[in-house]
Amino acid sequence: MSVTPASDIPIAISYTGRDYYALREQLIARIQDRIPTWTASDPSDFGVALVEAFAYLGDVMSYYIDRNVNESFITTATQRDSVLNIAQTYGYVAAGYRQASVTLSFFNSGSNVITVPQGTVVYGDVVTGDVVEQVYFTTSADATSDPGLNNGDVTVQALSGRSVALVSTNANSYGELVGTSTQTTNMSFELLETPVVDGTVVVYVEEGSSYSKWTQVEHIVDYGPYDQVFTVKSDANNVASIYFGDGISGQMPVNTSQIRVQYTVGGGAISNVLPNILTNIDYVPGLTSNELTALKSVITVSNLETALGGSDPEPLSQIRYAAPLALRSNNRAVTLQDFANLASQVSGVGKAKATADVWTSVTLYVSPTRVATDTDLAPGLDGTGITQNGNPTVEFTTISANTVSFLSDKTLIGTSVTVQPPTYVDAIITVQYVKFAQYTTAEIESALKVAIVTDFGYTNNDLGQTIYPQDIEYSLQQIPGIKTSMVTALHRQGDSGLTTLVGAANEIFRFQEANISVGSA
């Protein structure tokens, strides 16, 4: 009678037991198959020490295997570098720092007409935590202040940030010197200042005694060996770099030529400053320090409204959502969803919806990006004028032009695209609730209003969205202290009753505290 060697007996392996304790138990069980009398009960036993060491090693290896697999997929990756790299393989470039815009008011206390030129830089102090930071804005046009008109008060638009020429020590009229070409494939040069405002990078490459301006593109692979193009990418630390081609896709700068870059330093969410913060004039083009001092003795500046539109680099959640849309569109606009998906790739566009009666004329509704802490009621519109929401802001005008430009080579021949702002529709809601006894009425009703404004506010809403009463009730039911909640009225302003809010393609529903009524059932 032959005996099967122990080494040839099939072993049932639990592939789901991969942590320290599961591996330890499996190793002990395996040894006890060979040595039934070994109990593994003595911590000083050298065999127990070996088992625990192997279990620890297996636990660590399992963790890194899982991490490597997770970082290979955009839905599970947690490291920003991984998400950015995967998104780029989809043809999607994540948005970086974006500028806020604001109206500045210059007041002339003197008797002479004074023109504050375009490019004037003002600043104010912003406190973030315990840190005081100076936030800079640059005017977009000349502002002529006449003491005989409107008491010398004149307004002008300004965008957050200032030219790198005012920040860098190695910049000239062509920008900051970032390096010298080695005429090798896929050269990259890191921009030395940060944060870099998205869409402001201009590259100049030395050619003899002058410089030639190169063109920024989304994907260098789409261009030929004689095209003077570059692209911009940011790393996980939001440091921007410029990239050149390989001589086949995109030209390589001539060997030893200087690479200079103009760009704007600033932007970000911190530039959404409150009123009366920007009260200091920092720089006026063409003025010496003495002339600037004299100007500041008669010209004062302030922002009478909150600056809007500034945002930090695109968060991972947004990249995970938008990058697959870019892949589905395949860099061409055929269906209405393609138009919306592609528009969402434009820096500063937060929402997009396309409509059309015929394929030759597409209307694209877009609205700007916002974060949950922004308080403007009609993003992209100024709240004035003859319409309900106001007239388009400078921010909307910019993203509108950028969207049209971005889509120009991606649409079918004969198709025209018109970009329009959204219409904000006020929603009226009444909620009845039953609370637990240990909670006060004031804190429950405050929490209800905050939940409605937050969960169904701009950042969590979309163009053409449908909002069901049951969705709101479910959201409110998650509030600590709420036993039951019921929406008893939900309708557009001017209507009545309990209905489902169905938005048109150009509509975004808006919940304001003044339109929310809550009471105990």
pLDDT tens per residue across all 521 residues of the chain: 555 565 565 666 777 788 999 999 999 988 988 898 898 888 889 999 999 999 999 999 999 998 899 999 999 999 999 999 999 888 888 888 988 889 999 999 888 899 999 999 999 999 888 889 999 999 999 999 888 888 788 999 999 999 999 999 888 889 999 999 999 999 999 999 999 999 899 999 999 889 999 999 888 988 999 999 999 999 999 999 999 999 999 999 999 999 999 999 999 989 999 999 999 999 999 999 999 999 999 999 999 888 888 888 988 888 888 888 888 887 889 999 999 999 988 878 889 999 999 999 999 999 988 877 777 888 888 876 545 678 888 889 989 998 999 899 899 999 999 999 999 999 999 999 999 999 999 999 999 999 999 999 998 899 999 999 999 999 999 999 999 999 999 999 999 999 999 999 999 999 999 999 999 87
- Between vectors from CA 476 to CA 472 and to CA 479, what angle results, nearest 5°? 160
Sign for the CA dihedral angle at 279, 98, 337, 502 comes to negative
Spatial distance between the Cα atoms of 273 and 458, rounded to a whole number of angstroms: 20
Backbone phi, psi, residue 374, to 5°:
-70, 145
- Between vectors from CA 100 to CA 406 and to CA 270, what angle results, nearest 5°? 125
Other CB atoms within 10 Å distance of the CB of residue 160: 28
DSSP string covering 387-405: SSS-PBPHHHHHHHHHHHH
Query: Whose CA is closest to 483, among 439, 430, 429?
Result: 439
User: What pLDDT does 48 receive?
Assistant: 92
Burial 196-212 (b: 16+ CB within 10 A, else e): bbbbbbbbbbbeeeebe
- Token reading at 440: 């006060």
Backbone phi, psi, residue 452, to 5°:
-65, -45
Helix (H) or strand (E) holding 95: none
Cβ atoms of 161 and 138 within 8 Å: the answer is: yes
- Token reading at 184: 């090798």
User: What pLDDT does 204 receive?
Assistant: 97
DSSP string covering 253-305: PPTT-EEEEE-EE--SGGG-PPTT---EEEE-TT--HHHHHHHHTTEEEEESS
- Between vectors from CA 371 to CA 366 and to CA 377, what angle results, nearest 5°? 65
Give this prediction's pTM. 0.76
DSSP string covering 336-378: HHHHHHHHTTSTTEEEEEEEEEETTEEEEEEEE---TT---SS
